[in-house]
């Protein structure tokens, strides 16, 4: 993961202050780079964060992490990265394409494309595809 980008593994950190009365990120205070213009930008970002927070514990249970690298709110393109134990997992591409992509598109109708990347790693995971005993 790029160290300058926040991870979405529980609490959402913003790059600037949000409106504390609503807990909704204000324009320009998003937890990842956002491009494009849309009247519902803040809501789209929050909706994406909410869905990622549902998916993240499942990925973390196998020793991995799911990070949003960028979002274009105008075109609906989301760029994601799997890291940690996911980098050494044989099914990480299937997790991105068949799992995360499907969930995001099902729950957020405005998402048009999910571009996934897997950060290579030699970290062993805890899932069924990584041998637990030598």
What confidence tens digit (pLDDT) does each residue in 88-97 have?
777 888 888 8
Q: What mean pLDDT do residues 9-22 have?
A: 37
The residues facing 115 across adjacent strands are: 79
Q: How many residues are there in the chain?
A: 134
Q: Residue 129 domain-assigned?
A: no
The span from the CA of 62 to the CA of 78, in Å, is 23
Q: Tell me if 22 is assigned to some domain.
A: no
Q: What is the CATH number of the domain that holds 83?
A: 3.30.300.130
Domain range holding 51? 34-118
Query: pTM for this structure?
Result: 0.70
């Amino acid at each position: 993961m790029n160290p300058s980008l926040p991870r979405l593994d529980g609490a959402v950190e913003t790059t600037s202050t949000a409106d504390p009365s609503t807990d909704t990120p204000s324009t320009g205070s998003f937890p990842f780079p956002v491009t494009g213009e849309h009247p519902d930008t803040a809501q789209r970002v929050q909706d994406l964060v909410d869905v990622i927070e549902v998916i993240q514990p499942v990925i973390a249970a196998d020793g991995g992490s799911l990070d949003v690298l960028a979002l274009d709110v105008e075109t609906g393109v989301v760029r994601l990265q799997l890291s940690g134990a996911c980098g050494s997992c044989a099914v990480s591409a299937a997790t991105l394409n068949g799992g995360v992509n499907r969930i995001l598109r099902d729950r957020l109708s405005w998402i048009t494309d999910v571009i996934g990347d897997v950060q290579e790693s030699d970290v062993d995971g805890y899932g069924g595809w990584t041998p637990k005993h030598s």
